[in-house]
Chain A
């Protein structure tokens, strides 16, 4: 709990967001760190529309598969293009293993890109596409053997003399990947690598990409707007919105402990409610019940996230005996909808005392793995909310835009 609040205070103060990997602060990443260090990058295309990127600072450590995640138009693709050298920043530098590469043209950076629509040369065969970089560098004669190796390892054997338009989407992507990797870049950039693939291929390509990254040790940076792709493949993740990094952490931490309502919403979270502190420093009112914390809390009102798998369902018999004054964190809710989702069951519950004018979500989402029980619509449950597991997202005033979205989503859920 205390740690969450600390995170929250830190991000509000506008400090540099570094992954909280539990590292010693004296070892904080800087321009000389190994890997890619992005230092205060800003970019404006159109004065009227404001900054596309606003002082982005982050460190992508060696051997990481990094996902840049954000809604469309958040600036993530621009950041990727700046790293590639296809666009130059207005201010800030990019350091690769301690060397400033931000003034170099794209041709001189040890960085290669897999473009969203693959951008294969349609008039060249698969072999010539893969050989393009080596030929352009003039190293084709000495390193053409690499083409054979990469063709083999990406299962493109036999397709060397085929033209790109005769290939399937998955094959085209592997060619684009081979064309970039044959140059042995230090950083590989992937622009929405999954957007052209169907679900089955997505899963396979995701595995392959991760495998490849682990084998080569190259830094992979992937831009995506799909949180599931990002979480499944990457081992480092940054959420970007409106040109700023909102949260940078391991995918698992971002999912379970988002640092604001925007990230929570973006990670597909339900159960965002407004909490008000009571006169007692260790208790807070949720719109439908009171919860007690183990330590004192420092905020007056805050947005809180209740992860749906942390809500426990109490025995119906036990709950009926507890009429009258309900204990802390206990709420009676009626099931509105039951959704079977394979490994678990999602219950959407209507809460008492939750007026429609209330901001935040209007239904409580509960996840349970109890398949033995027959969940019925209209059934009343007694739920136990654990304050220890609650995530504090921030004060309402500081995340006004997130609130609108929360409200919109709340109305969708009804």
Chain B
């Protein structure tokens, strides 16, 4: 009797375990094949070096890392550091501006009364995705052209010299980046604002809180998860972005994304490209580690 009981129960457990394994197997397979293997090969590749004709020579050395730190034939130059710092700044500013724009936008959409009008607004927010990023970015070239009304208005106020376009330059890059990444920030924020418990801001108001305090203590803690999701899916791709900078930034405006792309295409230096990619990954992970331990994150993190 007792033996039967145990056998059947262990049989059940076995069955359920194989079932679970079967369920996660496809996902696990994809992760291993498309994430772990490429990462490992990047590490190996970064240790190899470029051959004379752009081929890969498997002589293991730390030459690429030395180069990354700025040492080359002519001594030490910190070019790559500057490019990395600039990419970090670019991604940071894009993310912050997207957060500032997304809060009012999401509140506005969430406060629409009928489900239809909310749906229409969400469609308007996501409809640019239907167009290819490259084409969308080229469209900005047209809009920032000397003949476009936007540029003419800017020229009228003396923001740009008459008859010159508003690109290439930092302004055009930021504009392109922010318009590209705004939906990535607004959609997760919207989903958490839609479920907001409005009694908390009201309670804060009832307890004499200023608008800043209401946001900090009653709205931010409730939307922190949407904010996290938004920051991750905005900051990471923004760090690696090269299309927008390529089209709107001009030749002098180089980010790490452009550099990596160059190594793999024009320069045909795959090992150094791999090294730069690893550097980018480490930098991104490091930024998140810093963010997780920051004050805003701790205040939000203790909620749930």
Interface residues of A (CB under 8 A from B): 84-86, 105-107, 111-113, 115-117, 119-124, 132-133, 136-137, 163, 179-180, 183
Contacts and interface: CB of A to CB of B under 8 A. Distances in A.
A136 B212 CA distance: 10
A54 to B, nearest CB: 24
B200 A112 contact: no
A116 B206 CA distance: 14
A242 B299 CA distance: 44
B207 A133 contact: yes
Contacts of A132: 204, 207, 209, 217
9 contacts: A106-B205, A107-B210, A116-B199, A119-B200, A123-B217, A123-B299, A132-B209, A136-B208, A136-B209
Contact of B197 (A106, A119, A183): A119
A179 B217 CA distance: 15
A183 B208 contact: yes
Contacts of A116: 199
A105 B197 CA distance: 21
A180 B205 CA distance: 12
A115 B207 CA distance: 12
A137 to B, nearest CB: 5
Interface residues of B, number: 21
Nearest to A189: B206
Contact of A107 (B208, B218, B299): B208
Given A107-B205, A116-B199, 14 more contacts: A86-B202, A86-B206, A111-B206, A113-B206, A115-B202, A119-B202, A119-B203, A121-B200, A123-B303, A124-B217, A132-B204, A132-B207, A132-B217, A136-B208
| Nearest 5 A/B pairs, CB to CB | A119-B203, A119-B199, A133-B207, A123-B303, A136-B208
Contact of A106 (B199, B206, B304): B206
B213 interface: yes
A150 to B, nearest CB: 14
Given A115-B199, A132-B217, A136-B213, A123 B206 contact: no
Given A86-B205, A113-B203, A119-B199, A136 B218 contact: no
Contacts of B250: none
B203 A123 contact: no
Contacts of B131: none
Contacts of B300: 123
B221 interface: yes
Contact of B207 (A105, A117, A183): A183
Contact of A123 (B199, B205, B213, B221): B221
A391 B203 CA distance: 43
Given A117-B199, A121-B217, A123-B221, A112 B206 contact: yes
- Of B207, B210, B302, B303, most A-chain CB atoms within 10 Å: B207
Interface string B275-302: 0000000000000000000000001101
A179 B205 contact: no
A107 B302 CA distance: 27
A106 to B, nearest CB: 5
Contacts of A117: 199
B225 to A, nearest CB: 12
Contact of A115 (B203, B218, B302): B203
Nearest to A137: B208
Nearest to A122: B303
A179 B202 contact: no
A106 B210 CA distance: 11
Contacts of A136: 204, 207-210, 213
Interface in B166-223: 197, 199-200, 202-210, 213, 217-218, 221
A179 B303 contact: no
A124 B213 CA distance: 13
A23 B295 CA distance: 60
A119 B198 CA distance: 9
Given A115-B199, A136-B213, A121 B221 contact: yes
Contacts of A105: 205
Nearest to A86: B202
A133 B202 contact: no
Contacts of A179: 207
Contacts of A112: 206-207
Contacts of B218: 121
Contacts of B208: 107, 133, 136-137, 183
A133 B210 CA distance: 11
A85 B202 CA distance: 10
A122 B199 contact: no
A106 B206 CA distance: 6
Contacts of B197: 119
Contacts of A115: 199, 202-203
Contacts of A124: 217
Nearest to A120: B203
